[in-house]
Amino acid sequence: MGKLVTVGEAGEAVVLERLLAALAVPASVSGVEAPLLGPGDDAAVVVAPDARVVATTDLLVEGRDFRTDWSSGADVGAKAVAQNLADVAAMGAVPTGLLLTVGAPSDTPLAWLEDLGRGVAAACSVWSTSVIGGDLSGASELLVSITALGDLQGRAPVCRSGARPGDVLALAGSVGRSAAGLALLLAGGPELAEEVAPELLAAHRRPVPPVGAGPAAAAAGATAMLDVSDGLGVDGARLAAASRVHLDVDADWEDQHVLDLLVAARRLGGDDDPWGYGLVRSWVRGGGEDHALLATFPAGVAARGLPEPFVRIGEVLPVRSGWPAVTVNGDDEVVGGWDVYA
Amino acid sequence: MGKLVTVGEAGEAVVLERLLAALAVPASVSGVEAPLLGPGDDAAVVVAPDARVVATTDLLVEGRDFRTDWSSGADVGAKAVAQNLADVAAMGAVPTGLLLTVGAPSDTPLAWLEDLGRGVAAACSVWSTSVIGGDLSGASELLVSITALGDLQGRAPVCRSGARPGDVLALAGSVGRSAAGLALLLAGGPELAEEVAPELLAAHRRPVPPVGAGPAAAAAGATAMLDVSDGLGVDGARLAAASRVHLDVDADWEDQHVLDLLVAARRLGGDDDPWGYGLVRSWVRGGGEDHALLATFPAGVAARGLPEPFVRIGEVLPVRSGWPAVTVNGDDEVVGGWDVYA
């Protein structure tokens, strides 16, 4: 079998065998409870002790969501897991299992799929979950789709619609780091990114969202929450619209948050923006894919202390007609975002 | 908005709005219980009264799993639902909700996606379930992926591994009809298929698996079950291998089952096979995508009467070293199947 180099040469049975081997994490290492019924039957069976199940799905497409010359198979696998678990966490749930679908052209190296499997397994291990099933298909481009399931542990789901004026606006995790890493890649490829800011390149390749902070926020009484996948401006506006409130971000928090992005911004700023302040602000306000959790908490909860690692970044105000949904210090509009068909 | 003709022109927000509108089935019509939390938040929440959840996923890729000149968007949507619900049914579970992921090139007609949504909604209505969430993405080719969730209602999942020698082999639904419809399409396109056997064309475009038969089989004591997605030979061999048994199909059942396929086979048989018997047998033994349920029942259950619409098609025998896993009247090898990378 050592000579099989593409998935087309290997055939479906061998690809499945190799992928399952790459996905397997010894229970003694991961500490993960095995699914009641994992890959190999028509469907998987996992526990749902709460008698409700949280379910979310995301598709990554080669050339749109990742490039194989910029990210390894393991990077792509880890990122796909991270962004789905961030969605589970944003409801206040803990992950219980993943379904993994991979579409691949027949000339895809078998090693790439095995590397993908190892990246998925590594991310699963970090967050104590596992792949319980999935699907393999041929395709014209590489596709990686994950469905994540979660358990609410008896709590109400934390929706986008529960924020109230007077609540504190808080963030767990970072914004703008993935966007900064991507900007370096676009400007000079992995070589430039590695030279200037390897930690920002890593943040783009393998974001590490604060998955545990989601259930902690729910337990602490968060009134609304979502994960920042499309940018603080766009996702903040979604929360604001669903809750019919206005969000105001502290300029002081923003100034602090941009510090470790300046090294990249100064390199890329150009003549119009020699210190890179414009770039840094665009990354912090418009950059997605770090999958930070944006949540709102009653002021009383915040006064007693936000659950780690949440920090206060602003406040929830009444809707003001004709104003943008999200502002910084009651002033500038925060905008950004991403259209999947653009 | 009437002038928007492609998804790229419409943009993600409008596409999502139109797709959700097409997916919406009034609760009064469908009789479906609404999800606890449906599309619009980071993740959906559905009931899991059994405290376990069944989960399965399948990806359909344009040019591999469907052709837009042979199937409408509604056909593709209905088929994607059908094949996922067949997997839920094959565990003995009832469907509780679906996640729908659609990948589309920017020049895809918006009307095609709306048609897809209507086909998904129509199939959901038939089987009393609904779309609870999903994902939209750009892609180089049309992609439709569904994840289906189900509830076991307190019963043990029916796996592939529980068949025992002495059990009765039974089938609910048909085999070979989708393959016959596809053969007509390949030979002469929709025109020939409509002329010769519109009912076989319909079986290919929109299979109607016996979803309700899965929970009925589980309640009746089925020892093993799977859905026939890749052909009786290939899927039968999977059940046989998992259960370490041999399956023998009655020639009498096969002869009966081929009757309504002969009209297509005679048209396509050619000089070597003027009556089409060879073709018909290849469809019945090797044709997938009808998503019939293949199950085994203890002889005592069969003697009292199999749950509808299961019919006895053979018996479960001890493994015989050196023999194929599935035979017809203890003789011919039953083969067939499908490699996704071929």
Nearest to A38 by CA among A51, A48, A47, A49: A47
Residue B321 has what DSSP assignment?
Answer: T
- The strand order across the sheet containing B292-297 reads B224-228, B292-297, B168-172, B311-318, B245-249, B326-328, B332-333
CA-nearest residue to A57 within chain B is: B134
Q: Which of B12, B42, B338 is the mutation pick for testing A, counting most A CBs within 10 A? A: B42
Q: Shortest Cα distance from A26 to chain B (angstroms)?
A: 22
Q: Which residues contact B298 (CB under 8 A, 6 or more apart)?
A: B164, B166, B167, B168, B221, B223
Indicate whether B227 pLDDT > 60: yes
* CA distances for A163 relative to A233, A295, A307, A310, B41, angstroms: 16, 8, 17, 16, 14
Give the nearest partner residue to A7 out of B58, B159, B341, using CB atoms: B341
- On whether any CB of chain B is under 8 Å from the CB of A49, the answer is yes
Query: What is the rounded CA–CA span in Å between residue B44 and residue B41?
Result: 7
Give the nearest partner residue to B56 out of A43, A56, A136, using CB atoms: A43
Q: Is A252 annotated as a binding residue?
A: no
Q: Which of A7, A12, A41, A65 is the mutation pick for testing B, counting most B CBs within 10 A? A: A41
Q: How many CA atoms within 13 Å lie on the side-chain side of B164?
A: 8
pLDDT per residue as tens digits for the range B255-304: 888 888 998 998 898 888 888 888 999 999 999 899 999 999 999 999 99
User: Which residues on chain B are in Cβ contact (under 8 Å) with A5?
Assistant: none
- On whether any CB of chain A is under 8 Å from the CB of B332, the answer is no
CB B144 within 8 Å of CB B80: yes
pLDDT per residue as tens digits for the range A48-69: 999 999 999 999 999 999 999 9
Tell me if B45 and A61 make a contact (CB, 8 A cut-off): no
User: Which residues on chain B are in Cβ contact (under 8 Å) with A63?
Assistant: 140
Question: Domain A168-333 is classified in which CATH homologous superfamily?
Answer: PurM-like C-terminal domain (3.90.650.10)
For A282, the token pair is 């665009």
pLDDT average, residue stretch A106-112: 96
Residue type, B313: I
Q: Is B282 annotated as a binding residue?
A: no
Query: What pLDDT, on the 0 to 100 scale, is given for residue B28?
Result: 44
Q: Where are the domains of chain B?
A: 7-151, 168-333
Helix ranges (DSSP H) in chain B: 7-10, 12-23, 27-30, 73-90, 110-126, 177-196, 198-205, 213-220, 232-243, 251-257, 262-268, 277-286, 299-304
- On whether any CB of chain B is under 8 Å from the CB of A90, the answer is yes
Q: Which of A42, A100, A291, A340 is the mutation pick for testing B, counting most B CBs within 10 A? A: A42
Q: What share of chain B is helix, strand, coil (3-state, %, to 5)?
A: 40, 25, 35
Tell me if A226 and B49 make a contact (CB, 8 A cut-off): no
- On whether any CB of chain B is under 8 Å from the CB of A154, the answer is no
Query: What pLDDT, on the 0 to 100 scale, is given for residue A270?
Result: 81
Query: What pLDDT, on the 0 to 100 scale, is given for residue B30?
Result: 45
Query: What is the rounded CA–CA span in Å between residue B126 and residue A25?
Result: 40
Nearest to B113 by CA among B216, B242, B204, B15: B15
Beta bridge partners of A169: A296, A314
pLDDT per residue as tens digits for the range A153-178: 999 999 999 999 999 999 999 999 99
CB B22 within 8 Å of CB B73: no
B207 versus B330: the higher-pLDDT residue is: B207
Q: Which of B41, B60, B61, B107 is the mutation pick for testing A, counting most A CBs within 10 A? A: B41
State the residue for tokens 């665009």: A282
CA-nearest residue to B228 within chain A is: A42
CB B123 within 8 Å of CB B78: yes
Query: What is the rounded CA–CA span in Å between residue B296 and residue A38?
Result: 21
Q: Which residues contact B13 (CB under 8 A, 6 or more apart)?
A: A339
Nearest to B133 by CA among A137, A290, A90: A90
Indicate whether A258 pLDDT > 90: no
Q: Which residues contact B39 (CB under 8 A, 6 or more apart)?
A: B20, B131, B132, B133, B134
State the residue for tokens 């993943």: A98
Q: Is A56 annotated as a binding residue?
A: yes
pLDDT per residue as tens digits for the range A214-235: 999 999 999 999 999 999 999 9
Q: Which residues contact B276 (CB under 8 A, 6 or more apart)?
A: B262, B264, B265, B266, B267, B268, B269
N-term to C-term CA, chain A? 42
- On whether any CB of chain A is under 8 Å from the CB of B7, the answer is yes
10 Å CB burial of residue B178 (0-12, 13-18, 19+) is buried
Query: What pLDDT, on the 0 to 100 scale, is given for residue A32?
Result: 58
Query: What pLDDT, on the 0 to 100 scale, is given for residue A335?
Result: 62
Question: Domain B7-151 is classified in which CATH homologous superfamily?
Answer: PurM-like, N-terminal domain (3.30.1330.10)
* Average pLDDT of the residues of chain B: 91
CB B304 within 8 Å of CB B219: no
Q: Shortest Cα distance from A51 to chain B (angstroms)?
A: 4
Tell me if A44 and B54 make a contact (CB, 8 A cut-off): yes
Interface of A with B in 295-314 (CB under 8 A): none
Pairing of strands B52-61, A44-47: antiparallel
Pairing of strands B94-104, B131-138: parallel
3-state secondary structure A116-183: HHHHHHHHHHHCCCCEEEEEEEECCCCEEEEEEEEECCCCCCCCCCCCCCCCEEEEECCCCHHHHHHH
pLDDT per residue as tens digits for the range A172-219: 999 999 999 999 999 999 999 999 999 999 999 999 999 999 999 999
Nearest to A197 by CA among A149, A127, A267, A297: A267
